[in-house]
Amino acid sequence: MIFKNLSELSDSDLNQMLSRGKGLADVGSAVDAILENVKTNGDTAILEYAKQFDKADLKTLAVTPAETEEAIASLDPTLMKHLRQAAENIRRFHAAQLPKEIWYIEETPGIVLGQKTIPLSKVGCYVPGGRASYPSTVLMTALPAKVAGVSEVIVCTPARADGTVHPLTLAACRIAGVDKIFKTGGAQAIAAMAYGTESIPQVDKIVGPGNVFVTYAKMKVREEVEIDFPAGPSEVLIIADDFADPKMTASDILAQAEHDPNSVSVLVTPSEKFAKATMSEVEKQTETAKRKEIIEASLKNSAILLTKNMDECIEFSNKFGPEHLQIMVDPQIEDSVLNQIQNAGSVFVGNYAPVPAGDYASGTNHVLPTSGYVRMYSGLNTAHFLKSFTIQRISKEGLSEIKDAVIDLAETEGLFEHAEAIRKRFDE
């Protein structure tokens, strides 16, 4: 883990930190081959990849209702209660995001303008299943789609070696109202949802996080299907001062680090005392961590950076553009810091707002752009599952108000029939 003054970072270290996770070209040829194979051979290719990558010898891809019932019956009722609690918070928050279905304005007499918003017809949710089970990702992707009114939501997730899907994932699918579940992961799952196979339907949009293979595949299939945004290895940036607790901050760094060896955790602080105390806690807590090997690999990508002042922390954070941003500062300056943030996927304010709260149960969405893509993308929300078209109701009186402007502009652009389409409506 890098421990340096921000001003002492080498250009190489800084560039590596800012360009994290963008080496998609490294997997390009492998993913291109998978996409083409699935496009050409459909289910046959998917079943072959299940055997090759997941060590699962599948006969069919669809999860049956009986499998889901059996999975739910095997779970602790208390765990199911907590899954439902998280789902209700997520559903409530995303319902609050819904725009008006239709609206109109009439700023010029005789010209009524409006917009109607409708849900997409079919959405595919990708749910990772490699190092862990991610029922929370089911809730974060499928629930907003259902809240938005999407009529068919499917989930693709890798099978385990015994050919089953983790019971928690299936339970989350039931709670979220998922219509169909398929046992496939990786780039091949993205290809299946983009092109369609004998078993898996082609969708209008694919959402959900994944590794670099999944991210590259999503970017590649955009000619066939829309996607949410690039969402690769998880990351957090923490802005903190002496008000923060080093033990809490260190645990937040480890919580992010245990996701993936490629995860990134960065602390920026103007306090050298706090920085050293946090570094000591990181080392101490890593020794007893259950996912120590993954954490140690991730910490090699991570850093504690000392700044001259809080302004420098904020400036670096905006340049970094973190997926998750924690602000753990004196409450008197919390709002000031927050108001200066321009680039972040999701912001957590205060010592008692750790990222795991948003990962699971507070209600906000944990599917967020990574690798600095927050500069141009918003985190997953109900708007991702909606589309809009505009409406114009124009009377002759209304058209007369803009007639001269339309004719003048059309002829200036050399589109004379455009102008005539207006003139003819006023011919005697």
User: Of the residues 324, 334, 384, 411, which is catalytic?
Assistant: 324
| Both tokens assigned to 257 | 């680090």
- Residue 291 three-state SS: coil
Backbone angles phi, psi at 266, to 5 degrees: -130, 130
Per-residue DSSP letter, 258: T
Q: Is 202 annotated as a binding residue?
A: no
Q: Is 166 annotated as a binding residue?
A: no
198 is in an annotated binding site: no
Please list, in sequence order, all residues whose beta carbon lies within 8 angstroms of the beta carbon of residue 283, skipping any fewer than 6 positions away.
none
Tokens of 271: 């306090």
Q: Is 235 marked within a binding site?
A: no
CB–CB of 341/267 below 8 Å?
no
Longest dimension (CA), the chain: 88
Tell me: is residue 52 an annotated ligand-binding position. Answer: no
Name the active-site residue from 94, 235, 323, 366: 323
384 is in an annotated binding site: no
Query: Is-catalytic flag, 324?
Result: yes
Q: In the annotation, is 334 catalytic?
A: no
Look at residues 101, 89, 104, 6 and name the one whose alpha carbon lies nearest to residue 313: 6
Q: What are phi and psi of 347, to 5 degrees?
A: -110, 135
115 in a known ligand binding site: no
Q: Is 41 annotated as a binding residue?
A: no
342 is in an annotated binding site: no
Is 324 annotated as belonging to a binding site? yes
- The closest alpha carbon to 238, from 358, 335, 325, belongs to 325
Query: In which element (H, E) is residue 163 found?
Result: none
d(CA 237, CA 324): 6
Q: List residues with catalytic annotation.
A: 323-324
Binding site residues for substrate, as ranges? Answer: 234, 256, 259, 324, 359, 413, 418
Binding site residues for Zn(2+), as ranges? Answer: 256, 259, 359, 418
Binding site residues for NAD(+), as ranges? Answer: 126, 188, 211
Binding site residues, as ranges? Answer: 126, 188, 211, 234, 256, 259, 324, 359, 413, 418
